[in-house]
Amino acid sequence: MLSPLDETLRHLLPTSFDHAGTSDPRFFDRYWFAIYDPDGAEPAMNTGMCSYLNMNVVDGYASMISEGKQHNARFSRALRPELYTSDPNVSDVGPVRVSILEPFRRLRLELAPNDSGMAYDLEWAAVLSPHEELPNFSRLRGRVTQNYVRYNQSGTVNGWMELDGKRTEVRDWWGGRDHSWGVRTDIAGGDPVTGDTDMRSARSGFLWTWLTWGAGEVGGHVQLHEIPDGTKVHTEAVLRWADGSEIHAGDVDLEFEVFPGTRRFATGTYHLHTPAGTWRIVMTPISRSLAMLGLGYSMGYEDRQGFGVWRGQEHAEHDVYDISHDEDVVLPDGTVDRPYHRDCAVRLDLIAPDGTVTPGAGHCAILPTGVLPARGIE
């Protein structure tokens, strides 16, 4: 069936835009945003939205961290029939809305007043052009588990956000974003069981790190994935400037220290080895680590079925986590959990090979899981 995108000259397949090129229920198309005051003022915010053509679902989320609490709101609705009539430059679910004002340059992010006590009206403006990451592809027992692409981008944010009646003016805050699409794990109810170990067990003994950041007129992206013996199975790093110039690193190293008795990083330094010398990114958290479970990741939502699950024509839920501990998270029912997927806002210094220091901010995940002998992690 035709949708507004079918009026454009953008077709890639001999079919209409109302369905994906695969029937995999995990096919997704997601926006994600992180918005922080580089000086560390609260609240720290994450928000995003995703469509699932094969599940007939759109869902979205918002989270604000303040005073050791993580406030979460999650929404879901039917994708059709609005898919066939809505403006392709505007995406919404419940009170969450993303409007494309100028592609890759300006976006408007809105969360209308709702029962969660959170609201915002923000304009995100690009500082850097988007960076296309290397494709993500993996298989387990012959079945594709991930096959997606993503770009990330650094910008500045202005407007306001509100939490429990307290409004905060946002003036030139750092804003990182990404946009990914394809097939990914932990979507549409999770992956099927195809052997004696499930997907989470199969990932045991793995270090996954990801950073997007900005420092004035320069910013970039870093990824590093390691297996237990320290072998790097995926590395990617780029430095990009507002004038369009960029430097790619041929290799990446990471040093980090954790809070005592936890696996949450307290400091971290990436070493980006380039033909022009080694650049360093030295990071410290400026907020409590975000429990991605509260946004719907890691099989979140109250029903613990995760993103992309049919929850009816309209669905909304909200809650508050206690994240005052460095690692433990107290859920609304009083359960103490240690969610694996934790990201956080960071303050950083970019140190050039000649020693020049440029301060900035970013969003980082350093996730060590299982036993990692090369890292001294048991």
Instruction: Tell me, letter by letter, the H, E, C secondary structure of 55-121.
Output: CCEEEEEEEEEECCEEEEEEEEEECCCHHHCCCCCEEEECCEEEEEEECCCEEEEEECCCCCCEEEE
Fold of 4-8+19-375: AttH-like fold (2.40.370)
Along the 378 residues of the chain, how does pLDDT read in single tens digits?
899 989 999 888 888 988 888 999 999 999 999 999 999 999 999 999 999 999 999 999 999 999 999 999 999 999 999 999 999 999 999 999 999 999 999 999 999 999 999 999 999 999 999 999 989 888 888 889 899 999 999 999 999 999 999 999 999 999 999 999 999 988 998 888 888 765 444 456 899 999 999 998 999 999 999 999 999 999 999 999 999 999 999 999 999 999 999 999 999 999 999 998 999 999 999 999 999 999 999 999 999 999 999 999 999 999 999 999 999 999 999 999 999 899 999 999 999 999 999 999 999 999 999 999 999 888
Question: pLDDT value at position 200?
Answer: 47
With tokens 């990617």, the residue in question is 236
Question: CA 138, 75, 62, 29: dihedral to nearest 10 degrees?
Answer: 30
H helices within the chain, ranges in order? 199-202
Residue type, position 106, single letter:
R
Q: Where are the domains of the chain?
A: 4-8+19-375
Phi (first) and psi of residue 166, to 5 degrees: -100, 120
Query: Are 176 and 214 a contacting pair, CB within 8 Å?
Result: yes
Question: pLDDT value at position 203?
Answer: 53
Residue type, position 255, single letter:
E
Question: Which letter does DSSP use for residue 200 in this model?
Answer: H
Buried b (16+ CB within 10 A) or exposed e, 76-100: bbbbeeebeeeeeeebbbbbbbbee
Question: pLDDT value at position 358?
Answer: 96
